[in-house]
Structure 1
Amino acid sequence: MSREFITKEVTKIFKDESLEYPLNMAMSAAWILGNYKGINLKILDVSKTSSLADYFVLGSATNITAAKAMADEIAVQMRELGHETISREGFTDTDWILIDFGDVIVHIFQETTRSVYDLDNLWSGAKSIEIPQSYYFSSDAEDQSNSDQSDDRGFF
């Protein structure tokens, strides 16, 4: 996937007028996770239950290399949009990477250990935000079956 394509799609989501800040940042991060083959994605609105952030973005990766690639891309894209990372934790051979942008905190887990930390249950009182199906990676076969839709999947 080309950096140009990623930047184009993330910028489109970030500047979507139907999404207010910081939800646009959370949705942009979710798109990156989904397109880097992240699984079990969730956006939780914790603004009413936590002073830590307004949104938590949760996702799982199948291996540590994928998790680091996801985290790096999110940090790069947010920086290009003018939002610096406040804190990055877990980049040294760990099962949980955390990226804090202030209003949005992104959690990337190894799928095998996500249940150990169980943030899904810990924040079960938070409202879950729907993530559009189009934010998820699809295979070439799925793209062929949806070829009537005009998008840039053939871009790269």
Structure 2
Amino acid sequence: MPTDTNDAKPARGKKKKKIDLDTVRKAVLVASWLHEKKGRDIVALDVTGLSPICEAMVAVSATSARQAKALADHTLAMCAERGIAYLGMEGYRTGQWVLVDMNDVLVHIFLEETRDFYNIEGLWSEAKPIPLSFSDESGKGPQ
């Protein structure tokens, strides 16, 4: 399992082709991965010009620390599978607020009560929402 460091790597002997996604497509893709693992209340925000550290944010609620860690693990596994780079992760140990830094996209995985307390959407109320739609109820979102 990953810790608070960059330790998710593709399996040995498999060379993953790096892919280049624009920020909005990457945020939508990450949101679909979170939806696959039953993340709740998924929101994507375009913070271009508002944040000096990223261009988009994805926020999701988890029902438990265990689910928060599973959402983070799945996100990193999908990044490795698709050849999408990430810079690091914080908060994994406690699972209350896990932050995955994908350079231009920050992924915030919160326990429901922690998300309410920090009110990320309120802090970034000037951000433009990125539309999300998940194609069916089986958990498969945009590809």
The TM-score normalised by the length of structure 1 is 0.71
Q: CA deviation at 1:130?
A: 1.2
Match of 1:36?
37
Number of aligned residues? 122
Q: Is the 8 A contact 1:34 1:41 kept in 2?
A: yes
Matches of 1:90 and 1:136, distance apart in 2: 30
Matches of 1:136 and 1:38, distance apart in 2: 13
Which consecutive unaligned segments of at least 5 residues does structure 2 have?
1-18
Three-state SS of the structure 2 residue aligned to 1:29 is: helix
Match of 2:89?
88
Match of 1:69?
70
The TM-score normalised by the length of structure 2 is 0.77
Match of 1:112?
113
Higher percent of residues as helix: 1
What are the superposed Cα offsets for residues 20-55 of structure 1, whole Å, 9 maximum, x if unpaired?
612221111101111211111100000121121111
Matches of 1:40 and 1:107, distance apart in 2: 12
Which of structures 1 and 2 has the larger relative contact order (alpha carbons within 8 angstroms, sep 6+)? 2
Q: CA deviation at 1:83?
A: 2.1
Match of 2:10?
none
Q: Is the 8 A contact 1:58 1:108 kept in 2?
A: yes
What are the superposed Cα offsets for residues 97-155 of structure 1, whole Å, 9 maximum, x if unpaired?
000010111000001211111111000000001110427656xxxxxxxxxxxx8xxxx
Structure 1 vs Structure 2: percent identity of aligned residues? 34
Which consecutive unaligned segments of at least 5 residues does structure 1 have?
1-13, 139-150, 152-156
Structure 1 outlier segments of 4+, above 3 Å: 135-138
Matches of 1:118 and 1:76, distance apart in 2: 27
**In the alignment, residue 123 of structure 1 is paired with which amino acid?**
W
